[in-house]
Structure 1
Amino acid sequence: MPEGFTERFAAALAGYGQQPCIEFEGRWYSGDEVSAYGRSVASALRGAGVADDAPVGLVVRNRLQHAAVIAGCLAAGRTVSMIYSFQSAEAIAHDVENLALAAVVADREDWTDPVRGAASAAGSAGLAISSTNPIVAPVPGLELRDSARGHADAEDGVALQILTSGTTGPPKRQSIRTAVLERTVFSVTAGERAPEDAPPEFAYWQFGGIGVCQLIAGLYNGRRIAMLERFSVEGWVDAVRRHRVVRAGVQPAVIRMLLDADVPEGDLASLDFLISASGPLDPETRDEFERRYQVPIRLAYGATEFAGSLCAWTPEMLEEFGETKRDSVGRALPDTQLRIVDPDTGAEVAAGEPGLLEAKVAPIGPDWIRTTDIASIDIDGFVTLHGRADGAIIRGGFKILPETVRRVLVSHPGVRDACVVGVDHARLGQVPFAAVEVVPGAQPSEEELKDLVRQKLPVYNVPVAVLAVGELPRTPALKVSLRDVAALYPGP
């Protein structure tokens, strides 16, 4: 039988041996130390009566032990279903009980009374993991899977169940097939094999979602990996400076944070470029960063359901089109077909016209998958994003795209960032409400900001209220939480 992704991943993980594999909290862990978690988890699960192919839940954090468990399960061909750790204990417990898995793995601190109770109610075995000995241990009272209970079976060919970021609502769980992970690696690395002396892969996006792709690609390619548990300007800049990182993917919020922190230019001197993904980046912020640091920013586009990117810029594209198509996220990857369709009729629209983006990705299947992103594709095949269709606000029959209003608000010199959401209205259905993150010391008035929108856009786009805040509420993925912004609406 031909060797597949699982076998190649397992061989790559074993290939580290005593060499450095993952750096976490200032210490390098060898491949043998990382692999020890996978062996210990496998042994403990067998002892708990859990079949070798049974999926397990992981209350995931960006810590060494969690990265190691993910790697060990992938190498063993065991499905991992992600559970976000940044929820309340009660919300984690709800996930544990609803998933009804044969076993759940979590950090010692996450085995709270509600989570233990939920695992017991589901008949799940429980394992506690830690960076100190014992690195893997049964949870008291959950030493054995309750064999009298029915538990979720493995989905054929599924390697991971990862979660969306929860920007617009509760996170959704997406199954990623093992065969698709091959394209995950390609989309993260653009098919390039790094030289032996290359800087480490830099992983700090949340592993519960699409951020796990960076970890998988790094291990698959035998790269050293520098990990952060969570983003901070200080930690991120320290890693770039120490490891001489040459490129990194960042959320738009990170670019703004680096500027606001006035990071010394020399600290980012190793960077050849940054890749901005997971949301819109304002042209003003991009221009300011590039002027300040002389580091180009490339735009990218991917989604959880595709386990990686759909588009990319190659050096050849940059040389020919880098300036003229600067706002594009690039062209479709070789295994991907893209088209833009009318949201109502499903008919493909003309080149350059906006509509809903659909993708056909060969490793995923033969069907066109419709996204909720509004985009256009020009005659040269370059894709430009224009916002999300699922955030559209229908105000008395008029359609408002929140990103269009947001762009006007952030053009004000006193506004650092903004978010526009629809809130319920008895007569009009929905109306736009805006929260703006103001520049320290600035005090733009609500009427001033409303007038700005009124001058630039049709009047129905003007928010019914504009609330100034010190910081917009964000998810752990650094995306603005639309639900939390809507909760700020003071009412009519």
Structure 2
Amino acid sequence: MEHQGTVADTVADDFADELSAHLARYGDRPFIEFERRWYSGDEVTQVIDAVIRLLDDNAVPSTAPIGLVARNRLPHAAAALGLIAARRPVAMIYSYQSEQSIARDIATLAPAVVISDVQDWTETTLAAARAAGCGAIALSLRPLSVELLLRPATAHLDTATEIAETPGLHILSSGTTGPPKRLPLPTDVLSHTVASMTMGMTGCYDDPPELVYWPFGSVGVCQLLAAPFLDKRMVLLEKFTVDDWVRAIKTYRIRRAGVQPALLRMLLDADVPREDLASIEYLPGGSGPLEPELRDAFESKYGIPLMWAYGATEFAGSVCAWTPEDHRRHGADKPRSVGRPLPGVHVRIVDPETGLEVTSGEVGHLEGRVDVIGPDWIRTTDLASIDADGFVYLHGRGDGAINRGGFKILPETVRAVLIRHPAVLDASVVGVRDDRLGQVPFAAVELRTDSTAPSEDELKDLVRESLPSHHVPVAVAIVDELPRNAAWKVTVREVAALYPIDR
């Protein structure tokens, strides 16, 4: 049976105009704190006006795509907000990569103009922009400024591109299993995305600020949009650190902030005092499955409910989530659920072979349909089930199985055993090529602070004692940190690259 949200969807008639109106309300009052300094609404608007003025002065058509090398910094936040409010199509370019990779993205996308931090404009990236006919705009924090480095070639401004056909954001997927894909979030879809993050809440300027640290290049840019749509201030972090995150919580008595599993482990590993997080009423989370042991450890230590959600870039944000009311009524009975489908979202579970919908409680592949995106169902490889009350449960990924000579191994099953070791903070298990068996499991583990490193044999024995022998990794690498992307998700291909090929 198909399940969908039960609350009427509230989509703004004109998302861009509404965003402009919200931004105008801040005026000379503090709007964004970055690096422990507050910037007023007027200062943010000055950056926006400078960017738009340079585009207009260089006759860049309103439909011409703009590339943004996105960093979680004050001028980049202003540029992103301003471009969305101006209804310009914006293609996000990943900033946490080499200058050669940024240059390749510029050459491939060939937008009318590329906006980037001054540090990312090097001889290599400028040469790529010049060769593609792109304009180049540099953003700087100290002093807060916007500067034109290259004028766009006139002939290039009329070049038709796929991005130009879809005003809004073209964001990057997480890229955990391969290179990030660029996916469109049209302006009208952004209204749904922001609604999925604010969950129908209202706010005001004097409320505790929003805490923003999800990377702008991905769907995390919509976390940036939540603050102005709630008429709230925001604390912007360039990246997550335990010290900066906890300081913001304590200083502003923040009541909720989005998290993901790696961040919870870091907070526990740092042994953050319970009183430092006393203002938090609950923590919505997502961006990966939450192990029961991690949930229990965190909630036991801090007394803070974790309200886990499920979403994907393809769905323009969250698909299922807990509301505070649902959590009060059902949280104790359904602790492993990711909540119910959001308003305007439809979810069903289908048999992976036949494509037919399965019965309540049966496991299959999750499919979703979002009204503002279109009428088509989007098939995922996530294994899930829906109970009789419409609550969704995740059971791993259907495409992640390692085929070891005909024996199927789910990586999360092996990982769940490895993270039981008292010295292991986190682990990742991937399939690597084997000439005889096709694939074999390989594991990498990250240790807790000040722990004694277990031997490779000790970790293998732990798996051998808990699971059939074909689950035992052929090798276990102990690393200082697991390779992660900017959203703190472990990158599978980089873990696989750690495998010792001479084994």
> Which among 56, 71, 84 is matched to residue 61 of structure 1?
71
> CA offset at residue 429 of structure 1?
1.5
Please name the residue that 2:23 is paired with. 13
* 5+ residue gaps, structure 1: none
- Aligned partner of 1:144 in structure 2 is 152
Q: Does the 8 Å CA contact 1:435/1:467 hold for their aligned counterparts?
A: yes
* Residue 204 (structure 1) aligns with: 213
Aligned pairs for 1:289-438 (under 5 A) are: 289-438=298-447
Instruction: Check if 1:266 corresponds to 2:264.
Output: no
Aligned to 1:251: 260
Spell out, residue by residue over 1:24-58, the C-alpha distance to the aligned partner (whole angstroms, 9 max, x if none).
11121121211122211111112233112211000
Q: Whose RCO is larger (CA < 8 A, sep 6+)?
A: 2
**DSSP 3-state at the match of 2:188:** helix
| Deviation, structure 1 residue 442 | 2.7
Contact 2:206/2:232 (CA < 8 Å) preserved in 1? no
1:424, 1:29 → 2: CA distance? 52
**For 2:232, what is the secondary structure of its paired residue?**
coil
Q: What is the aligned partner in structure 2 of residue 128 from structure 1? A: 138
CA distance in structure 1 between the aligned counterparts of 2:205 and 2:95, rounded to whole angstroms: 35
- Separation in structure 2 between the aligned mates of residue 25 and residue 212 of structure 1, nearest angstrom: 18
Report the CA distance shift for 1:473/1:134 in structure 2 as closer, same or farther (over 3 A).
closer
Number of aligned residue pairs: 489
Look up the match of 1:117.
127
Write out per-residue CA displacement over residues 254-281 of structure 1, whole angstroms, 9 at most, x where no aligned residue: 1111111111222111101112211122
Of 357-366 and 129-138, the range deviating more from structure 2:
129-138
Helix, strand or coil for the counterpart of 1:235?
helix
Q: Render the CA deviation track for 1:259-310: whole Å, top value 9, x for unaligned.
A: 1111122211110111221112222222222222221212111111222211
Match of 1:465 in 2: 475
Deviation at 1:153, TM superposition (A): 5.8
CA separation in 2, counterparts of 1:200 and 1:176?
Answer: 26
1:105 and 2:115 correspond:
yes
Deviation at 1:233, TM superposition (A): 0.7
User: Where does residue 222 of structure 1 map in the other structure?
Assistant: 231
Cα drift, residue 427 of structure 1: 2.0
CA contact (8 A) 1:168 1:482 kept: yes
> How far apart, in 1, do the equivalents of 2:379 and 2:164 lie?
23
Q: Residues 204 and 231 of structure 2 are in contact (CA less than 8 Å); yes or no, is this contact kept in structure 1?
A: no
Higher mean displacement: 147-156 or 294-303:
147-156
Q: What is the identity, as a one-letter code, of the residue corresponding to 1:239?
A: A
Letter in 1 for 2:298: F
3-state SS of paired residue (1:147): helix
Residues in 2 aligned to 1:71 and 1:196: alpha-carbon distance in whole angstroms: 18
Structure 1 residue aligned with 2:35, among 4, 25, 39? 25
In structure 1, distance between residues paired with 2:242 and 2:144: 33
Letter in 2 for 1:87: Q
Q: Output the CA distance in 2 between the equivalents of 1:27 and 1:113.
A: 32
Partner of 2:3: none
TM-score by length of 1: 0.95
Identity %: 56
User: SS of 1:249's equivalent?
Assistant: coil
Q: Equivalent residue of 2:69, what SS?
A: strand
Segments of 5+ residues of structure 2 without an aligned counterpart are: 1-11
Asked if 2 retains the 8 angstrom alpha-carbon contact of 1:62 and 1:229, the reply is yes
The letter for the 2-side match of 1:289 is F
Pair 1:193-2:202 in alignment:
yes
The range that moved more, 315-324 or 268-277, is 315-324
Give the aligned residue type for 1:291.
S
TM-fit CA distance, 1:232: 0.8
Residue 385 of structure 2 aligns to a residue whose secondary structure is strand
Post-superposition CA distance 1:421-463 (Å, at most 9, x none):
0101112211111111233333333233223323333332221
Q: Distance in 2 between matches of 1:352 and 1:232?
A: 39
Alpha-carbon separation, structure 2, partners of 1:90 and 1:459? 44
User: Are 1:483 and 2:481 counterparts?
Assistant: no
Q: What is the alpha-carbon distance in structure 1 between the residues aligned to residue 65 and residue 255 of structure 2?
A: 37
For the aligned residue pairs, the C-alpha RMSD in angstroms reads: 1.7
Partner of 2:51: 41
